[in-house]
Amino acid sequence: MFSRPRFQGSVKGGVRLKQLFQRFRTNLSGTTAVEYALIAAMIAVTMVTVMGPVGEALTTVFSNVANALPQP
């Protein structure tokens, strides 16, 4: 019936893509930056999670201290 058109650059492009992936896999220069970014993100999430209850507890403590002081 009908034959599919053959693209000249498909095999060569596939080889280039494979070389590109191999180069990305062996290049570790950006790995450290990504790791630091992930660590910073985890620290930020932890701080947001912890600061909510801590902030509420501090508000309670300061309210109690303010109420315990003699009124002028």
| pTM of the shown model | 0.45
- pLDDT mean over 21-32: 75
pLDDT digits (tens, 9 = 90+) for 50-67: 888 888 999 999 999 999
Q: From CA 8, how far away is CA 18, in angstroms rounded?
A: 17
Higher pLDDT, 23 or 6: 23
Per the listing, tokens 């970014």 go with 37
Q: Is residue 22 over pLDDT 60?
A: yes
Domain ranges of the chain: 30-72
- pLDDT mean over 37-41: 94
Measured from the Cβ of residue 13, the count of other Cβ atoms closer than 10 Å reads 11
- pLDDT mean over 24-30: 72
